[in-house]
């Protein structure tokens, strides 16, 4: 269970940051100055609801700025997520390779042609995956090394997660 004290502390820290940004926006924002000049030069009062909308807009903008500042302090490293996705897909392709590796088949039967179609489809899926997530050299290596390359790439993904 999460520590309630840390949740309150982080909420207050967030609100303080929002407050700092909000005060900055309200005190010297272009919109605030423009509204003041409009009132002064036209001699007409700007409706109260316009100021209310500006206040609400600045609160939302201050929330965004506080969020952005926190993201810049602690950037999210998406490489771990990408490695996990690559590892999952590579694992599925390696497993599928075992399912379609028929050895020598007879092309004179429907069953043999069907098996060859499955193997060809698998090879095309692997090549497309490698072209998208790696490069053309990996596709060429797959043509010569076969499933061994997929196993090597999968091992690299797992080694990267541990490191």
Query: 0.75 cut: is pTM over it?
Result: no
16/132 Cα distance (integer angstroms): 44
pLDDT digits (tens, 9 = 90+) for 21-65: 888 877 767 777 888 888 889 988 888 898 888 888 889 988 998
pLDDT digits (tens, 9 = 90+) for 82-124: 778 888 888 888 888 766 554 554 555 566 566 666 777 778 8
* Under 8 Å between Cβ of 49 and 120: no
Structure letter (DSSP) for residue 46: P
Q: What is the mean pLDDT of residues 126-154?
A: 86
Is residue 150 exposed (0-12), middle (13-18) or buried (19+ Cβ within 10 Å)? buried
76-83: long-range pairs with CB below 8 Å, 24+: 80/161, 83/157, 83/160, 83/161
């Amino acid at each position: 269970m999460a520590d309630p004290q840390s949740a309150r502390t982080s909420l207050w820290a967030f609100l303080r940051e929002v407050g700092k940004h909000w005060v900055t926006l309200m005190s010297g924002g272009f919109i605030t100055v423009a509204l003041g000049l409009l009132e002064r030069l036209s001699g007409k009062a700007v409706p109260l609801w316009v100021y209310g909308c500006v206040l609400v807009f600045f609160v939302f903008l201050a929330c965004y700025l506080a969020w952005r500042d926190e993201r810049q302090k602690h950037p999210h490293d998406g490489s771990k997520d990408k490695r996990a996705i690559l590892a999952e897909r590579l694992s599925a392709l390696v497993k599928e390779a075992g399912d379609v590796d028929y050895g020598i088949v007879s092309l004179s039967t429907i069953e043999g042609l069907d098996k060859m179609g499955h193997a060809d489809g698998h090879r095309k899926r692997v090549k497309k995956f490698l072209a998208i997530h790696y490069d053309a050299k990996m596709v060429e290596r797959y043509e010569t090394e076969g499933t061994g390359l997929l196993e090597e790439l999968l091992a690299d993904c797992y080694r990267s997660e541990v490191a």
